[in-house]
């Protein structure tokens, strides 16, 4: 398994894949570790998680450079990603015991009824390359602390990040087998999901990968959570602060060099302010610095792989051929590496790739609509439903429109982002289940109902289902 620097195309490192025997040993180790880990007091598990967060901060320089070299993220964003990972460790180190405390419920006299939250076992995390640390810690922080053991199948272009994360948990003092990395291709995952020692699976990735994992996990009757693609709308109302909206729009489209599921991708602007917003937005996109991801002033780095850049350019070309106007960008940069410039397409046809597909790169589609009603109609005219953003100075209007957008999360006068304190996930083809906050930690536990009847109490409670 090779890792390559997308800024140069050069090979960084070669790693030995795990073969069938290695995978068997890892599964056995996880199975052996689960019982004692589940019985470890949660306060001890929280202390270990706190230590993992400390290590992330201590090693930020080392790991930020690793992220930027393996997948091309600008170094400032790599640092921010690591800080967010430390934050999610802090959050669950402080709150997990509260979230997993027994929940008392009322029932009959002379009885005590409650829900206990107990770990499921081994959980497989199939994770993507675009946020190679955050996606993993978003999974691991809550679910290891809940008493599960974790297996990571990371994307094949970030093996160094995968092993570094395993190193963090090991150095933090986690017992052997509680968190392990599988350096294996996607073809090995089917057997892992089918294994009786695996209890659940979570995937962040493409719609196609999600369907494949959901089909198998469902056939095995194993719990699964999916966070898939998105084509998030960014709705600009007539009364929006256009300067703030345009500036944030450029960031929302190009964060992580445009390679983010929750990036704003379809900019839906009411006709009254369309031309003004478009001019401001194009100016903001053209002002972004494209360059070496290790340089501190870089805003947009390379695409993570050459094939991803090629696919992005084909979507742009097909959209222009269908009738979209190219306002800026639109051609791979003539330099070493897989660089694609910030690109704006105005008024693409509704059936063009820019409107109908997930565009995974720094290319934005800007649509003109008559009013708020048409804006919501277009915002919901997609098979995706991950996030959305509404821009208006009327907060009541913003909340009303936010409620009408079909998505797992909608922000008013703010870009879409994940936050450890808030549930995160999508609807429609963007997946199901939730991550983060209290809702996220409850996804991979057995919510066990317990009824304790006092001795000698009347036992004529009806036996019903």
Q: Which residue range(s) make up the domain with 296?
A: 232-412
Shared-domain flag, residues 352 and 445: no
**pLDDT band at 463; cut points 50, 70, 90:** low
For residue 187, count CB atoms less than 10 angstroms from its CB and return exposed for 0-12, middle for 13-18, buried for 19 or more.
exposed
Statement to judge: residues 170 and 243 lie in one domain: no
User: Are 191 and 212 members of one domain?
Assistant: yes
307 and 195 share one domain? no
Average pLDDT over residues 169-175: 98
Identify whether 342 is part of a domain.
yes
Residue 261 bears catalytic tag: yes
Single residue among 387, 412, 437 that ends a domain in this structure: 412
Q: Are 172 and 44 in contact (CB under 8 A)?
A: no
- pLDDT for the residue 462: 52
Overall domain count for the chain: 2
Is residue 462, in this structure, part of any structural domain at all?
no
Do 125 and 243 belong together in one domain? no
| Same domain for 272 and 212 | no
At 100 the pLDDT is 98
Judgement on whether residues 315 and 441 belong to the same structural domain of the protein: no
Across the strands, what pairs with 264?
A: 232
In the predicted model, is pLDDT for residue 464 greater than 70? no
Residue 163 lies in a domain: yes
Q: How does pLDDT run across 216-225, given as a tens digit for each residue?
A: 999 999 999 9
Answer yes or no: do 208 and 63 share one domain.
Answer: yes
Task: Read off the pLDDT of residues 86-128 as tens digits, 9 standing for 90 and up.
Answer: 999 999 999 999 999 999 999 999 999 999 999 999 999 999 9
Please give the average per-residue pLDDT across 15-21, as a whole number.
96
Q: What percent of the chain has pLDDT over 70?
A: 98
pLDDT tens digit sequence for 329-356: 999 999 999 999 999 999 999 999 999 9
- Residue 52: per-residue pLDDT: 99
With a cut of 90, say whether residue 363 has pLDDT above it.
yes
Residue 289 has pLDDT above 60, yes or no: yes
Last residue of a domain, one of 412, 438, 458: 412
Catalytic residue among 85, 89, 237, 261: 261
- Does the predicted model carry a pTM greater than 0.85? yes
Average pLDDT value over all residues in the chain: 97
> In this structure, is residue 457 part of a structural domain?
no
What confidence tier does 8 reach under pLDDT thresholds 50, 70, 90?
Answer: very high
- At 113 the pLDDT is 97
pLDDT, tens only, 386-396 = 999 999 999 99
Contact between residue 392 and residue 413 where contact means Cβ atoms under 8 Å apart: yes
Mean pLDDT calculated for residue range 185-203: 96
Per-residue model confidence (pLDDT) at position 455? 86
- DSSP bridge pairs for 11: 4
Nearest to 344 by CA among 279, 292, 291: 279
Residue 358 · residue 230 · CB < 8 Å: yes
Per residue in 236-286, pLDDT tens?
A: 999 999 999 999 999 999 999 999 999 999 999 999 999 999 999 999 999
Q: Of residues 69, 227, 357, 404, which has the active-site annotation?
A: 227
Same domain, 202 and 138: yes
Kindly state whether residues 154 and 175 are assigned to the same domain: yes
Examine residue 458 and state whether it is found in any structural domain, yes or no: no
The answer to whether residue 343 is domain-embedded is: yes
Give the pLDDT of residue 212: 96
Q: Is 418 part of any domain?
A: no
Of the candidates 349, 327, 353, 329, the one whose C-alpha atom is nearest the C-alpha of residue 341 is 329
Three-state SS letters, 357-406:
CCCCCCEEEEEEECCHHHHHHHHCCCCCCCEEEEECCCHHHHHHHHHHCC
pLDDT mean over 406-410: 98
Same domain, 179 and 282: no
443 tagged catalytic: no
Residue 170 has pLDDT above 70, yes or no: yes
Please give the Cα distance from 405 to 382 (Å, whole number).
11
Q: What is the pLDDT of residues 438-460, one digit of tens each?
A: 999 999 999 999 999 998 765 55
pLDDT reported for residue 148: 99
Domain CATH for 110: 3.40.605.10
Count CA atoms within 13 Å of residue 374 on its CB side. Answer: 11
CATH number of the domain to which 262 belongs? 3.40.309.10
Let me know if residue 184 belongs to a domain. Answer: yes
Which residues share a beta bridge with 126?
153, 203
Confidence (pLDDT) at 231: 98
Could you say which of 412, 440, 460 is where a domain stops?
A: 412
The pLDDT assigned to 465 comes to: 54
Whether the per-residue pLDDT at 184 is higher than 80: the answer is: yes
Residues 143 and 22 in one domain: yes
């Amino acid at each position: 398994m090779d890792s390559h620097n997308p800024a140069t195309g050069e090979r960084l490192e070669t790693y030995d894949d795990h073969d069938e025997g290695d995978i068997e040993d890892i599964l056995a180790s996880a199975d052996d570790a689960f019982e004692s880990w589940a019985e470890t007091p949660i306060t001890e598990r929280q202390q270990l998680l706190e230590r993992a967060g400390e290590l992330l901060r201590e090693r930020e320089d080392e790991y930020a450079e690793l992220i930027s070299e393996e997948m091309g993220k600008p170094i400032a964003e790599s640092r921010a990603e690591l800080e967010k990972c430390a934050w999610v460790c802090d959050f669950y180190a402080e709150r997990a015991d509260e979230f997993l405390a027994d929940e008392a419920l009322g029932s009959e006299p002379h009885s005590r009824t409650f829900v206990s939250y107990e770990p499921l076992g081994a959980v497989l995390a199939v994770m993507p390359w675009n946020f190679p640390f955050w996606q993993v810690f978003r999974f691991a922080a809550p679910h290891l602390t809940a008493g599960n053991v974790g297996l990571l199948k990371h994307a094949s272009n970030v093996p160094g990040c995968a092993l570094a994360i395993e190193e963090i948990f090991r150095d933090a003092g986690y017992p052997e087998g509680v968190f392990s990395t599988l350096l294996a291709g996607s073809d090995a995952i089917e057997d892992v999901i089918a294994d009786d020692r695996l209890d659940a699976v979570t995937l962040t990735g493409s719609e196609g990968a999600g369907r494949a994992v959901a089909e198998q996990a469902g056939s095995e009757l194993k719990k699964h959570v999916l966070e898939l693609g998105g084509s998030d709308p960014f709705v600009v109302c007539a009364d929006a602060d256009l300067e703030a909206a345009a500036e944030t729009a450029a960031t929302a489209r190009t964060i992580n060099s445009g390679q983010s599921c929750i990036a704003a991708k379809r900019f839906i602007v009411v006709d009254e302010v369309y031309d003004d917003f478009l001019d401001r937005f194009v100016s903001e996109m053209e002002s972004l610095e494209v360059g070496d991801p290790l340089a501190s002033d870089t805003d947009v780095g390379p695409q993570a792989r050459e094939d991803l850049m090629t696919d992005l350019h084909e979507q742009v070309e097909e959209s222009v051929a269908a009738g979209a106007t190219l306002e800026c960008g639109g051609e791979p940069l003539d330099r070493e590496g897989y660089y694609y410039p910030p690109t704006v397409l105005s008024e693409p046809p509704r059936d063009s790739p820019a409107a109908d597909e997930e565009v995974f790169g720094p290319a934005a589609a800007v649509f003109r609509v008559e009013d708020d009603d048409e804006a919501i109609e277009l915002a919901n005219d997609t098979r995706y439903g991950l996030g959305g953003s509404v821009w208006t100075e009327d907060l009541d209007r913003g909340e009303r429109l936010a409620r009408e957008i079909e998505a797992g999360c909608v922000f008013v006068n703010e870009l879409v982002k994940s936050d450890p304190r808030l549930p995160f996930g999508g609807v429609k083809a963007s997946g199901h289940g939730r991550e983060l906050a209290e809702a996220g930690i409850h996804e991979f536990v057995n919510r066990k109902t317990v009824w304790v009847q006092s001795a000698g109490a009347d036992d004529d409670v009806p036996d019903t289902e």
